[in-house]
Chains A and B, each alone.
Chain A
């Protein structure tokens, strides 16, 4: 396509000025953009209202489409599944054996757990869910990992509430609109989850890496006790997530920690459950029992 015939100003002063002015406006736009960026760095939720309006506006489309298809983008997984079916089969068989043993161990642990809880007279106050909904869309083109949930403030959602699925922790509520909420996924680079190793409650932090994996750093720097296959669950410290929600499985060690794969793959999560903030739960227990000891136990 040839450019328009006369884009050059020639000697006309007026044409030259108008070109200069248009450049000036363009540069002004870039500078304004930079300023807005600066503002959103200083106050990340400053433009939440605008984003909420956007999410609310397109929510009907997202909701309808996700109801029809449920076709969340997992084509990549399905294609590659054909290629390494055989090796996967063998790996899965090994995994199955291992799981069988772990289930037996878990059963024993569960029994012991119940017995200990009875001893402590700690009634199991499992945080019930506030709402259950579909993840209707996500920031699939940005390097931020934020998904949109199909329920919002009208259903009692508040920023900070943990979102989980049966597989594990999905993330936490970042911003709420009337009928939509934005969920900061576990794998987002700005999401730090306090976790512990399920086997020996070794405390660590899981930071998102933006690609469905998390970077796990033990709190005791210097030692690197992780090995492949370690299960990490939320520790409950920080008061946001209730303890015991599975978060990730270690896939490989690094120099200072480990890389883990997030268990709740948001692409495959059909329904997400929003839970109350764990700290609120603790607070209620304090007022119920008015005993510091019990509160300590509940926080574990």
Chain B
């Protein structure tokens, strides 16, 4: 019957969509480096990380603790960082976020933003330190524009991920 087929009542969203949408968006975020943005210094926010943090903070129950590792590996393929850098840093972020989730009772939006900002700063600084372990030319001032841009971008990413999440669970 056509009416019942189009009716939304009682329909379940496909499990595939529920399961796969978050990691796929994170990988797409990591792939943003494919855009023809050619710069002299690091300025593009780490989109994969921001998308992942948004998902992680919006849907804490979805993610396992070790999810940072495979997604970080994929990010390493596209970011140009030494292989394993994001895999390590994102894993650490996930362990810390899990610990925070177990300690705190509730979080509000501003705390989410603060947590995401601290995590982003941690990953960007860590990424630069990892690169500079070899070249010994530490220039943290270079990161300031990228860090500011990332922090300011997070609310928009969180909005976008929120919308995608609504679509993901909607029937």
Binding site for B on A (CB under 8 A): 1-4, 7-8, 19, 22-23, 25-30, 32-41, 44, 46-47, 50-51, 53-54, 58-59, 61-62, 65-66, 69-73, 76, 135-147, 187, 189-190, 207, 209-212, 215, 262, 265-267, 269
Rounded to whole angstroms, the CA-CA distance of A47 and B75 in the bound complex is 13
| 17 pairs of residues in contact across A and B, judged by CB atoms under 8 Å | A1-B109, A3-B104, A22-B64, A26-B65, A33-B69, A36-B73, A37-B83, A62-B34, A73-B44, A140-B44, A141-B46, A142-B42, A143-B128, A144-B131, A187-B40, A211-B139, A266-B40
Contact A140 B88 (CB under 8 A): no
**B133 located at the interface, meaning its Cβ lies under 8 Å from any Cβ of chain A in the complex:** yes
Given contacts A30-B88, A41-B82, contact A210 B139 (CB under 8 A): yes
**B61 located at the interface, meaning its Cβ lies under 8 Å from any Cβ of chain A in the complex:** yes
Which B22-77 residues have C-beta < 8 A from chain A?
31-47, 57-58, 60-61, 64-66, 68-70, 72-73, 76-77
A-B pairs, top 4 by smallest CB distance, nearest first, are A36-B84, A139-B80, A33-B88, A29-B69
Q: For B73, list chain A residues within 8 Å (CB).
A: 33, 36
Give B138 Cβ to nearest chain A Cβ, in Å. Answer: 10
Contact A41 B89 (CB under 8 A): no
Give A248 Cβ to nearest chain B Cβ, in Å. Answer: 12
Q: For A26, list chain B residues within 8 Å (CB).
A: 64-66, 68-69, 91, 94-95, 98
Give B26 Cβ to nearest chain A Cβ, in Å. Answer: 14
Contact B34 A61 (CB under 8 A): yes
Binding site for A on B (CB under 8 A): 31-47, 57-58, 60-61, 64-66, 68-70, 72-73, 76-92, 94-95, 98, 101-102, 104-107, 109, 112, 127-128, 130-135, 137, 139, 142-143, 146
Rounded to whole angstroms, the CA-CA distance of A62 and B38 in the bound complex is 11
Closest to B100 in A: A3
Contact A71 B36 (CB under 8 A): yes
Rounded to whole angstroms, the CA-CA distance of A47 and B127 in the bound complex is 17
**14 additional contacts (CB under 8 A) given A26-B69, A51-B80, A210-B42:** A7-B60, A22-B66, A28-B66, A33-B84, A36-B87, A37-B84, A41-B82, A54-B78, A72-B38, A76-B43, A141-B33, A141-B44, A190-B135, A267-B40
Given contacts A33-B84, A144-B131, A190-B135, contact A212 B98 (CB under 8 A): no
Rounded to whole angstroms, the CA-CA distance of A38 and B98 in the bound complex is 26
Closest to A191 in B: B135
Q: For B42, list chain A residues within 8 Å (CB).
A: 139-143, 210
Of A41, A44, A137, A207, the residue contacting B34 (CB under 8 A) is A137
Give A73 Cβ to nearest chain B Cβ, in Å. Answer: 4
Rounded to whole angstroms, the CA-CA distance of A71 and B37 in the bound complex is 8
Rounded to whole angstroms, the CA-CA distance of A4 and B95 in the bound complex is 18
Of A27, A29, A37, the residue contacting B130 (CB under 8 A) is A37
Contact A29 B68 (CB under 8 A): yes
Rounded to whole angstroms, the CA-CA distance of A25 and B94 in the bound complex is 11
Rounded to whole angstroms, the CA-CA distance of A59 and B36 in the bound complex is 10
Give B44 Cβ to nearest chain A Cβ, in Å. Answer: 4
The listed residue with most B CB atoms (<10 A of its CB), out of A19, A143, A146, A269, is A143
Closest to A32 in B: B69
Rounded to whole angstroms, the CA-CA distance of A209 and B136 in the bound complex is 10
Of B58, B65, B66, B95, the residue contacting A1 (CB under 8 A) is B58
Given contacts A62-B34, A142-B127, A146-B80, contact A37 B39 (CB under 8 A): no
Given contacts A3-B107, A37-B130, A142-B80, contact A62 B137 (CB under 8 A): no
Contact A1 B107 (CB under 8 A): yes
Rounded to whole angstroms, the CA-CA distance of A131 and B137 in the bound complex is 33
Closest to A69 in B: B36
Closest to B143 in A: A143
Contact A143 B84 (CB under 8 A): no
Q: For B83, list chain A residues within 8 Å (CB).
A: 36-37, 39-40, 46-47, 50-51
